[in-house]
Amino acid sequence: MQEIRSILVVLEPDQPDGLALKRARLIAGATQSELHLVVCDGQQDHGTWLGELADTLREEGYSVSTRQDWQESSHQTIIAAQQAEGCGLVIKQHYPDNPLKKALLTPDDWKLLRYCPCPVLLVKTDRPWTGGNVLAAVDVGNDDPEHRTLHASIVCHAHDVAHLAKGELHVLSAHPAPLLSAADPTFQLRETIAARYRESCQRFQDEYGLSNHQLHIAEGPADLLIPQMALQLDAVVTVIGSVARTGLSGALIGNTAEVVLDVLESDVLVLKPDDICDQLEKLIEEQA
């Protein structure tokens, strides 16, 4: 989080006091990042409003630029702005999708999570972050190098947010139920499974000074456990990893970040593995 130097803030003109800008002010104030404000609208001109808002922010000490644009969809417009400004974080307010519409069409925020080659913070609540709990959700069962790097990034970003908010970091890893048919005896007993996952999380405990009550190893599917733990902790931010799925398999399978997005009662920061971000960057360049 401290490495971010520019933030793209997606604004809604009909909500001048939008939650995305509140979070952007907080983060930019701590990281000295530039704010790039974008309105996704190809019909009505919002230049005057954007200019007045930018002037107010500059008076508060922020470095600000503005743009209004519209391409084929809002997520494409946002990604084009992110690329043009070289932003390291996108902040957008999330509105729950209609269940029927979501069943028929892929929600635009899902597409943003899939295709945006940088972290995305979806703001869902106006609760202040100050003094709140921050939940990092990792899957230490996937211990290949790519996932280990992603897990470290998730915990690192969550740690930075907790430090920024003067709150407490918590880490959750879900593990599968015991399987009597498993070839590895470790996966035949609930206690040994939990112990193995806790051991895999040890480096997080050591590096970030986490106590045992800050580390949560639970049995069950991640898409159920993450919202439950976030609710139990009254988390203000949940940090989670995502894979960029495309094509029919992505539409059918989705991923945990998408599944829990409307269920979580906290803001959601979504990260991707570096190699996927690189692939998305190349895809964007090819389509330009």
Q: Containing H/E element for 65?
A: strand 64-69
| Cα separation, 235 vs 271, whole angstroms | 18
Helices (H) and strands (E) in the chain — how many of each?
Answer: 12, 10
Largest CA distance in the chain: 67
Distances 140 to 1, 155, 187, 200 between C-alpha atoms, Å: 22, 12, 14, 6
Cβ atoms of residues 209 and 201 within 8 Å: no
> Tens-of-pLDDT digits for all 288 residues of the chain?
667 899 999 998 887 678 999 999 999 999 999 999 999 998 999 999 999 999 999 999 999 999 999 998 999 999 999 999 999 999 999 987 666 555 556 788 988 988 899 999 999 999 999 999 999 998 877 777 777 788 889 999 999 999 999 999 999 988 766 644 344 444 455 667 777 777 878 888 888 888 989 999 888 888 899 999 999 999 999 999 886 555 434 443 447 888 888 899 999 999 987 766 667 777 777 665
CA proximity to 54, closest of 81, 34, 77: 34
Contact between 6 and 28 under an 8 Å Cβ cutoff? The reply is no
Q: Residue 247's pLDDT is what? A: 45
Sketch out the chain's domains with CATH numbers. Answer: 6-93 (3.40.50.620), 133-279 (3.40.50.12370)
Distance CA 90, CA 77 (A): 12
Q: How many residues does the chain have?
A: 288
The residue whose two tokens read 């139920």 is 177
Short-list 51, 38, 29, 143, CA closest to 83: 38
Give the separation between CA 237 and CA 24, rounded to whole angstroms.
Answer: 14
Question: Can you give the pLDDT at residue 190?
Answer: 61
What is the phi/psi pair of residue 264, to 5°? -65, 140
> Is residue 39 within 8 Å of 13, Cβ to Cβ?
yes
Quote the pLDDT of residue 273.
74
pLDDT of residue 183: 44
pTM of the model: 0.88
